[in-house]
Structure 1
Amino acid sequence: MMQFTESAPAPPPLHQNPIGGLCLDLSGGKKNQSSIPRAWPWPGFPTSTKTLGSFNNASCMEQLLVHCANAIETNDATLAQQILWVLNNIAPPDGDSNQRLTSAFLRALIARASKTGACAVLAAVATADADLALYTHRFSAVELASFIDLTPWYRFGFSAANAAIAEAVEGFQTIHIVDLSTTHCMQIPTLIDILANRPEGPPFIKLTVPRITSSNTSTQPPPLLDLSYDELGSRLITFAQSRNIGMEFRVVPSESSEGFDTLIEQLRAEQMVCDGEALVVNCQMMMHYVPEETAGAMTQLSMRSMCLKALRSLEPTILTLVDEDADFTDSDLVGRLRSAFNFLWIPYDAVDTFLPRGSDQRRWYEGGVCWKIENVIAHEGLQRVERLESRGRWMQRMRAAGFRGLGFGEEAVGEVKSMLDEHAAGWGLKKEEEGLVLSWKGHNVVFATAWAPSTSCM
Structure 2
Amino acid sequence: MMQFTETLPSQQLHQTTKQPCQNFIPMNPNQTHRTRPWPGFPAPNNKALGTFGDANCMEQLLVRCANAIESNDATLSQQILWVLNNIAPSDGDSNQRLTCGFLRALIARAAKTGTCKMLTAALSNSNITIQTHKFSIIELASFVDLTPWHRFGFTAANAAILEAIEGYSTVHIVDLSLTHCMQIPTLIDAMAGKSDSPPLVKLTIAGATEDVPPMLDLSYDELGVKLVNFARSRNIILEFSVIPSTSSDGFSSLIEHLKIQTLAHEALIINCHMMLHYIPEEVTTPTTPFSFEDSTPRAIFLKQIRSLNPTLVVLVDEDADFTSTNLVCRLRSAFNYLWIPYDIVDTFLPKGSKQRQWYEADICWKIENVIAQEGSHRMERLEPRGRWVQRMRNTGFRGVGFGDDIVGEVKGMLDEHAAGWGLKKEEDDLVLTWKGHNVVFATAWVPANLI
Q: Same fold (TM over 0.5)?
A: yes
* Partner AA of 2:47 in structure 1: F
Partner of 1:28: none
- Give the direction of change, closer, same or farther, for the CA distance of 1:84–1:282 in structure 2 (3 Å limit): same
For residues 414-452 of structure 1, give each alpha carbon's deviation from its aligned partner in whole angstroms, at most 9, with x where no partner exists: 111011001000010011111100000000000000001
Distance 1:277 1:418 in 2: 31
Distance 1:379 1:42 in 2: 28
Equivalent residues of 1:72, 1:116 under 8 A apart = no
Equivalent residues of 2:282, 2:323 under 8 A apart = no
Equivalent residues of 1:104, 1:373 under 8 A apart = yes
* Partner AA of 2:368 in structure 1: E
Partner of 2:33: none
For residues 119-164 of structure 1, give each alpha carbon's deviation from its aligned partner in whole angstroms, at most 9, with x where no partner exists: 13312322343454532x1000000000000011000000000010
Does residue 75 of the first structure (1) align with residue 72 of the second (2)? yes
Distance 1:418 1:255 in 2: 35
Distance 1:373 1:391 in 2: 20
Correspondence 1:19-418 to 2 at 5 A: 21-23=22-24, 41=43, 45-46=47-48, 52=50, 54-132=51-129, 134-135=131-132, 137-199=133-195, 201-213=197-209, 220-271=211-262, 274-292=263-281, 300-418=294-412
| Unaligned ranges ≥5, structure 1 | 1-18, 26-38
Equivalent residues of 1:282, 1:321 under 8 A apart = yes
* Partner AA of 2:231 in structure 1: A
What's the secondary structure of 1:114's corresponding residue?
A: helix
Distance 1:414 1:302 in 2: 37
For residues 341-399 of structure 1, give each alpha carbon's deviation from its aligned partner in whole angstroms, at most 9, with x where no partner exists: 00000000010001000001001101111000000000110010100001000000001
For residues 18-64 of structure 1, give each alpha carbon's deviation from its aligned partner in whole angstroms, at most 9, with x where no partner exists: x8955379xxxxxxxxxxxxx954577136xxxx4x11100000000
Distance 1:282 1:108 in 2: 32
- Give the direction of change, closer, same or farther, for the CA distance of 1:46–1:69 in structure 2 (3 Å limit): same
- Give the direction of change, closer, same or farther, for the CA distance of 1:293–1:381 in structure 2 (3 Å limit): same
* Partner AA of 2:93 in structure 1: D
* Partner AA of 1:116 in structure 2: T
What's the secondary structure of 1:301's corresponding residue?
A: coil
Deviation at 1:407, TM superposition (A): 1.2
Equivalent residues of 2:247, 2:279 under 8 A apart = yes
Question: In structure 1, which of residues 436, 442, 457 is the aligned counterpart of residue 436 of structure 2?
Answer: 442
What's the secondary structure of 2:181's corresponding residue?
A: coil
* Partner AA of 2:227 in structure 1: L
- Give the direction of change, closer, same or farther, for the CA distance of 1:20–1:291 in structure 2 (3 Å limit): closer
Distance 2:155 2:117 in 1: 46
What's the secondary structure of 1:67's corresponding residue?
A: helix
Distance 1:229 1:129 in 2: 36
Q: Which has the larger radius of gyration?
A: 1
What's the secondary structure of 1:386's corresponding residue?
A: coil
Deviation at 1:94, TM superposition (A): 0.3
* Partner AA of 1:325 in structure 2: D
Distance 2:436 2:235 in 1: 42
What's the secondary structure of 1:449's corresponding residue?
A: strand
Partner of 2:449: 455
Partner of 1:11: none
* Partner AA of 1:45 in structure 2: K
- Say how many residue pairs are matched: 408
Overall identity of the aligned pairs, in %: 64
For residues 148-188 of structure 1, give each alpha carbon's deviation from its aligned partner in whole angstroms, at most 9, with x where no partner exists: 00011000000000010000101111100000011000000
What's the secondary structure of 1:212's corresponding residue?
A: coil
Partner of 2:413: 419
Distance 1:348 1:265 in 2: 40
What's the secondary structure of 1:357's corresponding residue?
A: coil
- Give the direction of change, closer, same or farther, for the CA distance of 1:326–1:44 in structure 2 (3 Å limit): closer
Deviation at 1:293, TM superposition (A): 5.4
- Give the direction of change, closer, same or farther, for the CA distance of 1:172–1:60 in structure 2 (3 Å limit): same
* Partner AA of 2:232 in structure 1: Q
Equivalent residues of 1:75, 1:116 under 8 A apart = no
* Partner AA of 1:204 in structure 2: L
Equivalent residues of 1:293, 1:302 under 8 A apart = no
